[in-house]
Structure 1
Amino acid sequence: MVEDGIRWSIGNGDKVKIWCDKWIPNPETYKVLTPINPLMYNEKVSTLIDKERAMWKFELINSIFLPHEASTILAIPLSSTLPEDRKVWSGTANGVFSVRSAYHGILPTKTKLKDCKIPMEVECDLCEGVEIVGHTFWSCDFAVAVWQMANVKAPGLMANPPNFMDLFWCVMEAKPAQDLEALATTAWFLWNNRNAVRHGETSRIALQIFEASRLYLAEFQTHCSSSNAHQSHVPTLWRPPPLRWYKTNVDVAAFKEQGQYGIGVVVRNDKGQIMGALSKTLPYPLGALDAEAKATEIGIIFSWELGLREIILEGDSQIVMKAIVNHEPGPI
């Protein structure tokens, strides 16, 4: 089971074979599904990377792969330093194995049971899709209707997230802030409904799922102590860095129609004076968390190029900032 959960995280692409290895963040096999090009059978992923610019070769990728797979590849973030490829655990967002995540990865969807050699059809009982985790919780027509009622959004999320935690993190990073308690409660009701249908019961309608989850959440919140009650968000005012230090602020804006992200960087000194500013467009469809990580990298490099060494980095993504401060592997 552990071996099945290991895949490659792309750095420079030198170690990873395009058609043989697990490296694409799709929820089923992590392997390329586009028919093999005989002339490129043994080619490495590095063939697809422009190493001078540390960017994917857009035209080449779009000419080789199926459209949906080309978009998935182009959404994989590349570091400007092009580090070595590394093997990571696909069950967690930072690529680090944990026993808990291993069990999380065996949620018994039909595809997972079939992978375990249990003979069965893999079609969703509520629509015509293939029942994988991402489909059950997000892209199934039934789930879509429920999430619309619950007004839970996850901008930049792929159609079928590999697991529920990918969905959770994407919603957590969304702007404006989403109701995570509603997300968890509604997902629980979706899974219970799926199980009921699987065992011969009649499915509830989407409105019933939404109303039941909302009532359950209201009861839960009523019985919570005041310290656990929902706290309204208080905007944090910009504060200057210590004497002779500099603060680098980074931010990201999504342009959904163009499949692009915009990045902004502002560097100020301890008096609040602007030392430098940068804005640029990333011409590829990164996920929300990936875009925040890329913006952070660009902000660090920009500050370094300004000749600044004593910097404090500030951004909207707590996950990315904590990964830097704690020297932990970041989201992959």
Structure 2
Amino acid sequence: MCPVCGQEVESIYHALFKCVGAKNVWELWEECPMVIGTENMDFSNLALKMLECGTPRDMELLIVVAWAIWCSRNLRVFEMVCQGADQVWNHAISMLFDFREAVKFCGLGPLACEVRWKKPQVGVFKINTDGATEVDGRWSSIGVVIRDSRGEVAATLCRVLPGCFSVDETEALAIEARIILVRELDLHQVIVELDSLLVVHQILAKDFNGGLGHIVHGISGFLEGFHS
């Protein structure tokens, strides 16, 4: 029996498409070109049907979301870690977004790889943050370093988060904690550097929707007190 829903004998197709947990994830694909999970077929046939109905980008999303669902299933079965549909979906979207941006970056040629850390202007502090999250359910963690215009370290911080979060949730929580630290240090002119382009775009657009919405909303409120 399926270890997630306990309603049917588990198969690859059931785990990825027919299980109630998987269905809740697929329902978040609002512009899906076909109905998923209504017919019993192997993955290769479903993929071919997706190519007939949709685009190569739809095919990419199908594969990445299916992978995220399978990872979530394994977390629940082997680590007793339960993820909601929004968390699984956001994880898949984040991975696909970062992959596409990386492909664009690689297409710029060797010079694009020669990116080095640059000192901020006099009177400005630069914040570099990073987050780490594990697929095995272990708690996520964040780290930060703040440097001044001479490149000297002004403050550092590392922290283990109270739970296992997605990559982008971890990055967003990292920047939120770092901004709070900067306010406590009374630093008003700052530059924030992040690894996740999805988080950066959502903050700049003040997009408060989706799984990151409440975190981005808090970050936007904190940023209003800074000059840069």
TM-score, length of structure 2 as denominator length: 0.54
Matches of 2:84 and 2:209 in 1, distance apart?
A: 23
Residue of structure 1 equivalent to 2:222: none
Instruction: Work out the number of aligned pairs and report it.
Output: 160
Residue of structure 1 equivalent to 2:194: 315
1:126 aligns with 2:3: no
Superposed CA RMSD: 4.2
Residue of structure 2 equivalent to 1:272: 151
Matches of 1:330 and 1:235 in 2, distance apart?
A: 35
Q: Is the 8 Å Cα contact of residues 139 and 160 (structure 1) preserved in structure 2?
A: no
Counterpart selection for 1:109 from 33, 36, 50: 36
Counterpart selection for 2:63 from 137, 140, 143: 137
Closer/same/farther in 2, CA of residues 163 and 124 from structure 1, 3 Å limit: farther
Matches of 1:138 and 1:256 in 2, distance apart?
A: 15
Residue of structure 2 equivalent to 1:35: none
Residue of structure 2 equivalent to 1:65: none
Residue of structure 2 equivalent to 1:171: 96
Structure 1 residue 276, shift from structure 2 partner: 0.5
Q: Structure 1, residues 120-142: CA drift from partner, whole Å, max 9, x if none?
A: xx464117xxxxx999635769x
Closer/same/farther in 2, CA of residues 316 and 235 from structure 1, 3 Å limit: farther
Listed as ranges, the gaps of 5+ residues in structure 1 are: 1-25, 31-89, 92-100, 111-121, 128-132, 145-157, 183-226
Counterpart amino acid of residue 284 in structure 1: G
Counterpart amino acid of residue 137 in structure 1: I
Counterpart selection for 1:241 from 105, 120, 139: 120
Closer/same/farther in 2, CA of residues 269 and 139 from structure 1, 3 Å limit: closer
Q: Is the 8 Å Cα contact of residues 290 and 331 (structure 1) preserved in structure 2?
A: no
Closer/same/farther in 2, CA of residues 271 and 331 from structure 1, 3 Å limit: farther
Q: Which has the larger radius of gyration?
A: 1
Matches of 1:326 and 1:311 in 2, distance apart?
A: 19
Matched position secondary structure for 2:113: coil
Q: Structure 1, residues 244-288: CA drift from partner, whole Å, max 9, x if none?
A: 111111111234445222211111111111111001112422111
Q: Is the 8 Å Cα contact of residues 320 and 331 (structure 1) preserved in structure 2?
A: no
Matches of 2:137 and 2:105 in 1, distance apart?
A: 40
Q: Is the 8 Å Cα contact of residues 24 and 85 (structure 2) preserved in structure 1?
A: no
Listed as ranges, the gaps of 5+ residues in structure 2 are: 1-20, 44-57, 71-82, 212-228
Greater fraction helix: 2
Matches of 1:28 and 1:169 in 2, distance apart?
A: 20
Matches of 1:279 and 1:162 in 2, distance apart?
A: 24
Matched position secondary structure for 2:143: strand
Matched position secondary structure for 1:260: coil
Identity %: 19
Q: Is the 8 Å Cα contact of residues 259 and 283 (structure 1) preserved in structure 2?
A: no
Please give the residue correspondences for 1:166-205 in structure 2 after superposition, counting only pairs within 5 Å.
Answer: 167-173=92-98, 178=99
Counterpart selection for 1:284 from 163, 184, 193: 163
Please give the residue correspondences for 1:1-332 in structure 2 after superposition, counting only pairs within 5 Å.
Answer: 28-29=23-24, 102=30, 104-105=31-32, 107-110=34-37, 122=38, 124-126=40-42, 137-138=63-64, 167-173=92-98, 178=99, 230-232=107-109, 233-257=112-136, 259-329=138-208, 331-332=210-211
Matches of 2:149 and 2:209 in 1, distance apart?
A: 29
Matches of 1:253 and 1:163 in 2, distance apart?
A: 17
| Poorly superposed stretches of 4+, deviation over 3 Å | 26-30, 133-136, 138-141, 158-166, 178-182, 255-258
Q: Is the 8 Å Cα contact of residues 161 and 167 (structure 1) preserved in structure 2?
A: no
